[in-house]
Amino acid sequence: MSGGEETDTAKRVTDEALRPYLGFNLRRAWNVIHADLAATLDPLGLRMITFSALTVIGDNPGLSQAQLAAALSVERPNLVAVTEELTTRGLISRDRVPSDRRTYALRLTTAGARLLAQASEAVHTHERQLYSVLSEAELESLRAMLGKIESTGTERS
Amino acid sequence: MSGGEETDTAKRVTDEALRPYLGFNLRRAWNVIHADLAATLDPLGLRMITFSALTVIGDNPGLSQAQLAAALSVERPNLVAVTEELTTRGLISRDRVPSDRRTYALRLTTAGARLLAQASEAVHTHERQLYSVLSEAELESLRAMLGKIESTGTERS
DNA sequence: TTATGATAGATACAAGGCATAACGATTATA
DNA sequence: TATAATCGTTATGCCTTGTATCTATCATAA
């Protein structure tokens, strides 16, 4: 009776059984990165979605909300509150387009560009710290592999 | 007036500006993996949380709900509905522990072990397909790098 | 033994993220 | 001109996860 290796809490409970799944490891890493990112953006009054929106608007001035939604891979209704918040805070401008009066042209204001610059630097700095254990070559291959996984999955959906 | 490179939608809108952030790439990859995983588990009546719970219970028979919560990195209240669902479906047993009548000892039933075996194989098969563009060595280094990121982040929190 | 604090599980509740359905205004197409 | 499609919007719901709080049980100390 004394040879029971699987008896209750004699051994410490672990998540070893889930480790073989890459998805599990990726989720854990994502949790860590997300927590760090949220903590980094919070002092600037930004969330992930608002930071992402500012970044894409800055890189594509004059785009519409529908285009922004497509670039961020979220549905259009979810951006309404985001653009409203950014507009209210004076970070972006929302101008009617004469040629198509259905859409708004989104652009960063001066204040928005300034905040985005601040936030970008903060995020870059935090990422560097978080990935300091990895070499630049490792980071590059990591990015490449994640990109491959992403395209493999999206191609066949 | 015709030299405007940043005029509206002349260029296609992209998310290129977010690509330098590793966190962004990781989130996109996670979205892909999660969607695939959910689609894989759905025919078996499982979600990520129930599959993870079954896996950890199978590897640690007799553990308590609190231990399960710790292994899965979720708060205790979130597991109440999970264990209730699994119990109702006859996939796990929840026995009172005589030495500590506050806790339950969780174990897989025969049906639970059978379903877990099915699900594990299905998930492994789907992961192999999703990562088919990567070599075994690449997958190994990917797992290692994700692990490093995870421990770097959790150590200092 | 009794009083006090800690723990397990459960309940209620809230917040965030994201999706779908449907609507008015506008534009495109037949 | 009639019909379909698109943009931004509103309402709504689901899923996941967290916090606060409660009861029952156990551990510890006076």
Q: How far apart are CA B121 and CA B131, in angstroms?
A: 15
Per-residue confidence at A128, pLDDT binned at 50, 70, 90?
A: very high
For residues A76 and B10, the model is more confident at A76
Nearest CB to A30; choose among B26, B67, B133? B26
Give me the tens of pLDDT residue by residue for chain B, a chain 157 residues long: 333 333 344 578 999 999 999 999 999 999 999 999 999 999 999 999 999 999 999 999 999 999 999 999 999 999 999 999 999 999 999 999 999 999 999 999 999 999 999 999 999 999 999 999 999 999 999 999 999 999 988 776 5
Q: How far apart are CA B6 and CA B11, in angstroms?
A: 8
B70 touches strand D (CB under 7 A): no
Closest A-chain CA to B122: A21
B59 CA to centre of own chain: 16
pTM of the model: 0.90
Contacts of A93 in chain B (CB under 8 A): none
Nearest CB to A59; choose among B17, B60, B146? B17
Q: How far apart are CA A5 and CA A21, in angstroms?
A: 24
**CB distance A56–B18 less than 8 Å?**
yes
